[in-house]
Structure formats: C-alpha cells, structure tokens
Homo-oligomer: A and B are copies of this chain.
Amino acid sequence: MGEPERAAANAEAVRRMTGAQPVLVDVLPAGQAIPGIRPNVILTSGPPMDWDMYDGGQRNAVIYGALYEGLAASAEDADAKLRDGRIVLGATHDHGCVGSVAGIYTASMPVFVVENAVGGNRAYCNFYEGESRHRLNYGSYNDEVRRGLDFLRDELAPVLQAVVRGSGGIALKPIISRALRMGDELHSRNTAATTLFTRELMPQFIEYAVGISRERALTALRFFAASDYSFLRLSMAAAKAMADAACDVPAASVVTAMTISCRNFAIRVSGLGDEWFSGPLPEVSCRLFDGFTAEDVQWIGGESHITETVGLGGFAQAAAFGLQAYQGGSAEEMIRMNSGMYQITVAEHPDFLIPYFGFRGTPVGIDIFRVVGTGITPVIDGGLAGRNGGQVGAGILRAPLACFDAAITAYQAKYGN
C-alpha cells in the first residue's frame, strides 16, 4: 500500500464523512428503535468487555441501569444475572449508539433516531438527563435520578416524538453549522444549537399545545430548552451517523470512532473494520467544580468524543471561546490546540467553519499515521465523572498515542508497509 493509495482512500472516507446528511427522523424507545435491543439488554460505553472487567462507577452504572429497567431486584441480583447472561451487556457502538460518559442504554429508554439521508445508515443517542450533577450517565442513582429518567420516558419523549414526526424530520447539519458561528463547538458547548433546534420545532410545539395538551407541550419545551446541553445528544447521534458513513473504506487510515471505558481508551479505523485499538486512559487538564480535587476524578466511560471524530468539539474550540468559563484555559490556548489538529487530519470540513479562522473549515479525518508521525494526539473537550458518582468538572482530554501505534501495527499487517 503506497501513500497515494492511502491518500485516495482517506479522501474517499472523509468525503463520505463530511458529505453525510444526518436527519432526526424519530424518537422511540431503544428497544423499538435499535435492532438487537431485547428487553434484557443493557448497553454501556467502551469496547465490549466481560462483566468482570467493569469496576467503579461504570460497574455501578450498569447495575443501576438493571435496577432502573426492572431487570433485577437488587445490586446482587443484577450482578448474578450479568454473570450468567440473564442480563446481556453490550457495547453501544456495536448497536449504532454512542454513550455519554457511562452511556447506559436500557430497552425502555427513549432515543433520538438519526438517519444519514445520503448513506441511509442510522445512529441513536438517548436523552440528556438535565442539569443536576447526579445523573445515571455520571454513575449516580437515587430517587431523583429515577424520577428524572421516568420524566424523560413518560413526559418528554412522547412530546418530542410527536413534534419530530410532525416536522417531517429535522436536518441536523444546518443547525450544527450555524451553531459553530454562534459560539458552540457541539461537544462541551451546545447552547446555540439547543436554542436553534427548539426554534425549528416551535410550530410543532404549538400544534401539540393546541391539539393535545398545552401543559405537556410547555413542560417538555421548558425542560428541553432550559438545558444548554440538550442538543449534545443530537450532536452525538449526528456525529455517529457521519462517522459511520466513513467506515470500511479499504486502506483508509482515518479514525471512525474513539471510546473510553473504565479500563482504557480505544479507536477504530476506517480500513480496519470493527476492531478496537486500545491505549491507556487519557491525560486530562481540567477545571473541577468547587469542592472537588483531582483525586475525585474517576473514569467511568465516554463516547461523546464522536464529535471530535467528525471535526467538532476539541477540533472546533476556536469557535467556542465561551468554553473557558466551563473548562478553564484561555483563548490563546484554545486557538493553539485547535490549530494543532490540522496537522493530524487529512481535510478541512466543507460545512463546519470557524469564524475566528476566517471561516476555515474545521480539521477533519484523524489520520493514525499523522498522529504517530507528529506525536500530536486528538484534543477532546469533556465532562469528568467523580469517584462517588456525579459530574465533578470539565476539561481537555488528550487521546493516548498507544492506540494509534497499535492501529498502525494492524494496518501494516493488513496492507503492508
């Protein structure tokens, strides 16, 4: 495999990724929307692992998912059923899903159904739980968390289902493109996108209020619109639909997914199928919420950096200087990090533009050879989970070099030097 062939393959992969047109087409329970999600299935972030391998907050989160779904009567019962297969644990990415932090999916949870209008592939993401620091996806579980999940399923989802169906589908790429001109990078900042998305659906909210129930419409609207992070789950599903469009291009060396479990960081590569290439957990520089120290941070999974995989998040930081208030840093540092990403990618996004860079396209298509060649690893904006559950801060993660090294070894074994 010569460099020209690899370059051509990468160009094709990135053409598919950047040409994808993610459209929100429905809202459904995971068990109805996603092939293979039987009632006893739980999904979680990270590459597939044996149940024994999970520990800490991610292990807790899976058990909490089992309790929430009514699959087990107690943590011990859940553990026993996860061991003997009465509860089946799966990896989100294997089902077209992406997990936020621990990324727990159970069959009754509502998901956004996003379809790539170009390739036809579908991706899914469940809902943002709201502004409490205690959320199932951050490894927390109590009455408040459970009531919050019930609200998503019983109150928010039916209204969103009706308004999304009433709209005939909402194209997500125009919203993402526009939000980049309004201070979002679509990973740790989704303020503009949430507002634009809500505005897009206003006629349908009004139809719902007039035709079915003003109270339900207002309650759903207030919850969704009040949280600046509501759109993150749509940004993630859209990114997954875009990234999946670039999978399985023979000889392409661009990354199509990055994931974190409680054990490791791992990537997938277009020309290398479904295999995950692992490295250690990422390095992080972060701003912790008041009262927390670095000792409190715990890795419990995460896949929201599917956004970085398609040229958003850390790859669009210079569009979102407002993020300093959330995750620390400075505008200069954000510009420096964002600029660095052009050295490890094969293209500039035709639709995702950064005003500060004179509307230059965001860097897109992370090339494992460029990462290893430069020693520069992907910059990732992210939230941080705490040892005792809940979010404790936010910051910048750096993907580990080791998984790119491992991917190159596999690439050379498959395609030659």
Contact = CB atoms under 8 A, between A and B. Distances in A.
A218 B206 contact: yes
Contacts of A357: 331
B199 A192 contact: no
A371 interface: no
A289 interface: no
A8 interface: no
A298 interface: no
25 contacts: A181-B191, A181-B322, A182-B182, A182-B183, A182-B322, A183-B183, A183-B355, A192-B192, A195-B195, A195-B196, A195-B199, A202-B205, A202-B221, A203-B221, A203-B222, A206-B209, A206-B221, A210-B214, A321-B355, A324-B355, A324-B359, A325-B355, A325-B359, A330-B358, A331-B357
Nearest to A331: B356
A205 to B, nearest CB: 7
A266 to B, nearest CB: 33
Interface residues on A, range: 20 to 34
Per CB-CB distance, the 7 closest pairs between chain A and chain B, nearest first, are: A321-B355, A181-B322, A322-B355, A182-B183, A206-B209, A182-B182, A321-B356
A158 to B, nearest CB: 17
Contacts of A205: 202, 206
A225 B222 CA distance: 18
Interface string A304-333: 000000000000000001101100001100
The interface residues of chain A, by DSSP majority, are classed as helix
Interface of A: 181-183, 191-192, 195-196, 198-199, 202-203, 205-207, 209-210, 214, 217-218, 221-222, 225, 321-322, 324-325, 330-331, 355-359
A81 B361 CA distance: 57
Contacts of A222: 203
A198 B357 CA distance: 30
Given A202-B205, A202-B221, A322-B355, 12 more contacts: A181-B322, A182-B183, A182-B191, A195-B195, A199-B199, A203-B222, A206-B217, A206-B218, A210-B214, A321-B355, A321-B356, A356-B356
A175 to B, nearest CB: 11
A183 B184 CA distance: 9
A195 B201 CA distance: 13
A381 to B, nearest CB: 15
Find the residue from A191, A196, A321 having the highest chain B CB count within 10 A.
A321
Contacts of A181: 183, 191, 322
Contacts of A191: 181-182
A217 B199 CA distance: 14
A192 B359 CA distance: 18
A207 B183 CA distance: 31
A148 to B, nearest CB: 22
A352 to B, nearest CB: 13
A198 B356 CA distance: 27
Contacts of A199: 195, 198-199, 225
Contacts of A330: 358
Contacts of A203: 218, 221-222
A318 to B, nearest CB: 9
Contact of A324 (B192, B324, B358): B358
A341 to B, nearest CB: 18
A343 B205 CA distance: 48
A355 to B, nearest CB: 4
